[in-house]
Chain A
Amino acid sequence: MHESQIKEIINQIFEIEKKISGDPLEKSLSRNLRRLKSATEEMGFNFHNPLGEKYDITRLDCEAMISGESADNLKIVEVIKPIIYFREGETNSILQKAVVVTEG
């Protein structure tokens, strides 16, 4: 499977997780999603949702759109795409930067 296809699968898992969050479907689908995630993790791919984390311009793992009036004390308030890591042995690399919206 190509890296781009795995990225697409992970992005869709992330999207589904986001969409069903708080929905009655969340409980019943979480197991299936976990299995999908576990399958991608087996292949060395992990993803991370940085929602709520602090943000500044030293963070290269996110591409940010800064909304609101302040550019200081930024927090990630919305995540459009997650950070995807690829791990091979001891080496960890970022395959996809998160796309996020931040607010001060």
Chain B
Amino acid sequence: MENTINFGIDLGTTNSAIAKYSEGEIEVFRNPLNLKQTLPSVIAFRKNRIVIGDKARELLQKDPLNVVGGFKRKMGTSDKYFIESTMESLSSEQLSAYILKELKNFVHTGETVEAAVITIPASFDTMQSNATKKAGYEAGFQQVTLLQEPIAASLAFANKGNKDLNDQSWLVYDLGGGTFDVALVSIADDEMKVIDHEGDNYLGGTDFDKAIVEKIIIPHLELEGTFDNLEKQMKSASGRYNRLYNVLLFKAEEAKIQLTNSQTAEIEFETEDDTGEEIEVYLTINRDHLNMVLKPYVDRTIGMIENVLSRNDIRIEDIEFALMIGGSTYIPTVREQIAAQLGVEVNCDIDPTTAVVIGAGYFAGMKMKNLAPPKQEKKERNSSSTANELNIRTAFSKVSQDQETPFIAEIKGDINNKFFRILRLDGGFDSGLKPLKPALTEYLPLVPNVFNQFSFKIYDELNNPIPTEVPPIGITHGKFSIDGQPLPNDICLEVDAIEEGTTFLEPIFKKNAILPVKKTIVKEISRTIIKDSSDALIINILEGAVDNLPAANKTIGFIKILGKDLHRDLIKGSDVELTFEVSESRDLKVEVYLTLSGQEYENVFNPSETHIDLENMKMDLESFRINLLKKQNEVAASEDYGQAALMRDLIEEIELLKNRIAHLNVDDVTDEKYQIDEARRTIAQKVHRIFNRSVLQKTFEKYYQARDNVRSAITYGQSTDEDQRRLDQIIQSEKTYLASDNVGLINMKITQLEGLNRAINSRKEVTPADIVNHFSWLKIMDYKDKNEANTLIKKGEKALDKGSHTALLDVVNQLYMLKKREEDNDPDSFKKTGTGLK
């Protein structure tokens, strides 16, 4: 068990924080609700719940009867705060105890904070100091040690880099969000102490934000539009521009922060003036503007520093440095003006927002633990002894379509002085602390379309958690409704595999995706589709494994955009934007937008009505038949009789099916066409297996060759780390796509590998022998435009004779381009089977 206090707390007027010393290091704990290291010292008592921190601060100005802040200023006085909603009066120490109890929640290590060092302003007298201790005991600490804030900050500074401060004097300049303090600190006879101090409880960063609005933004706005007493209309709660005022305070704070790192900041907003005229404001402010606005405030702090120095008869030359702490000392003009006007070194070595709590932590690490249990301990033991007797039953709907859903709990046992709190685990909801009741209902807000998780915890009066058996609360929003369910199969889009002259499937939604789902993808037109031609763009959406051959899956949506319907030619490479949406009741909605022509198509496919295009089906079957006949000859030649017999049976099956289609009425109302479609898909799978066997073998060989080429190029060529990264990226899921037997997919990978190989090799210096070899290879290739090819070949041979390798390289490039152009523009290669999408 550790024998030092270790926990340090900065109990601030505006913000508080908690830290722990451990093995020479300090950890400043973060608020589990928002991960901030500080907690605004504000408490809201509203509608039977207690909320502490950021949320309470939002209401501070608007609901002063139920929300309290700044109570540290009244520590140790008889003044009390009357809380309207609870009809009770609370002292500053009671309110501070709430803050301390809330800070315990920051300690993620699960330790109980038994003892703590709590910081106090240098100005605190004995009464105020004792009141702070009392607050600590009320929060359940058994030992409380106090430490002055300037000393804490100085300790943080001294511990950073083991600085020697012996026989030195310095200033601690603490300018926070709402308060200012300056302290003169020195070390004499090995003792660090505060010699003198001065402060202003109403001077800080929020005053600066208001000043930016009042001195910069309002005058600018008054020039842009017609306003009558704009400032008053902004600041009055019932004023016409009160909402705008709040927006501008936020914008001013943003600009102030931005000016910490930049020379200028933009403030941008829209409003109406008194005449109803719309005004768009784009205001650039720079550091000079900010300096001008802040100068009176900084001057006030300088006045206080001068008072402290003159009271103690100390010259500024005797001051080693001014240690800057508090969030507002981030502002460059504050630092610059202090340095310039006082002529003192400004020290910004420590994090100004956490300096005090870090120093408190260091001090806590040096102070021995000496627990002197206060009266509360008895209470605590009582409460924990009854904690185990709580019997809790909870009820909530695991699925909800509503924005919020009720959570009900029934509690048996001793509920006195106990509280509950429910948090949404994404950090979006906090019920606040609410008194435990035998039966309670809390409405939990849900994030749409996700699984929402909440925790339900019970606390004793000291805010110590009481272990319970309540399981986590998990509520799915909008899912698994009456018809909604996970997708039983992949939903895919058929796209062209250009090089293979075939098509393959790309996933749109993966199997088990929870409905509803929506996705927009952008594809390219794979070949130019001429306006008014008989060509068509086909959007074929299929259900089934993405690794299947398209024909083996079931079409659930089909859109054919004919050339005659186009407003202009669809140029190869132009975008097609496709939005797919599957509702909970499995309606498939497809929106197609042709970016080039600006045409839009929208179709809703009802899954209860499978879309079967008989024409398409006939085309598929005919294509299978022709290919099987060709293959049958090859197989027969190789005397593979088993395979030949299989094909013969398959061709017969296709003939029979074609016959069934021929006899089908166009308006057939039976399920005959669905049965035919099912049979067609079975045939497609068989065909796929037959053809895939040999094609796949060749594709594998080609793939391994392409991959080895890249590896070799990376090892021996002019490769970079980026090439290796790209290779890793391409082959990342190699196992999966090789096991998929999907030729189109593997070919896509081959294309990527070949592209990478070319890119690496292109960096290699080309030798004359390389050019000659390449030319020899291109000479024997087939060209559709033989004339152009021959002309180029002759030109190349002349260049070779003359020994002009530059001219030969030019010919090689032109021949290569000619070959590529012919491949790309082959009008017959794809039109009949392709979709027009890639």
Contacts and interface: CB of A to CB of B under 8 A. Distances in A.
B124 interface: no
A39 B242 CA distance: 37
A57 B51 CA distance: 8
Nearest to B44: A57
B432 A57 contact: yes
A101 B247 contact: yes
Contacts of A70: 62
B428 A94 contact: yes
7 contacts: A35-B522, A58-B430, A61-B427, A66-B61, A66-B246, A67-B242, A101-B247
A77 B244 CA distance: 11
Contacts of A43: none
Given A61-B427, A101-B246, 17 more contacts: A19-B270, A31-B577, A48-B448, A57-B46, A58-B430, A58-B445, A59-B445, A63-B58, A64-B58, A65-B250, A67-B246, A68-B238, A68-B242, A71-B63, A92-B447, A97-B34, A103-B243
Interface of A: 19, 31, 34-35, 38, 48, 57-61, 63-71, 77-78, 80, 83, 85, 87, 90, 92-94, 97, 99, 101, 103
Nearest to A77: B243
B245 interface: yes
A103 B451 CA distance: 30
A58 to B, nearest CB: 6
A80 B424 CA distance: 23
B242 A57 contact: no
A38 to B, nearest CB: 4
Size class of B's contact patch?
Answer: 35 or more
Interface string B445-473: 10110111000000000000000000000
Contact of A60 (B46, B251, B429): B429
A67 B245 contact: yes
B481 interface: no
B797 interface: no
Interface in B372-422: none
Contact of A31 (B55, B451, B519, B593): B593
Contact of A66 (B62, B270, B432): B62
Given A60-B34, A65-B247, A94-B426, A71 B447 contact: no
Interface in B40-79: 44, 46, 49, 51, 54-56, 58-59, 61-63
Nearest to A90: B451
Q: Pick the most buried of B46, B426, B427, B450: most chain A CB atoms within 10 A of its CB.
A: B426
Contact of B427 (A60, A65, A87): A60
B829 interface: no
Given A31-B593, A57-B432, A71-B62, A80 B450 contact: no
Specify the main secondary structure of chain A where it touches its partner. Answer: strand
Nearest to B520: A38
Contact of B428 (A60, A71, A80): A60
A85 B251 CA distance: 23
A32 to B, nearest CB: 10
B237 interface: yes
Contacts of A31: 577, 593
Contacts of A77: 243
Contacts of B428: 59-61, 83, 94
A63 B54 contact: yes
Contacts of A59: 55, 428-429, 445
A37 to B, nearest CB: 9
Contact of A67 (B34, B56, B243, B429): B243
B450 A87 contact: yes
Nearest to B237: A69
Given A94-B428, A99-B250, A35 B58 contact: no
A65 B704 CA distance: 62
B528 to A, nearest CB: 23
B249 interface: yes
Nearest to A34: B520
Interface string B172-212: 00000000000000000000000000000000000000000
Q: Report, nearest first, the 10 A-B pairs whose CB atoms are least far apart.
A: A65-B246, A61-B428, A71-B62, A38-B520, A71-B63, A57-B55, A67-B243, A69-B237, A92-B450, A67-B242
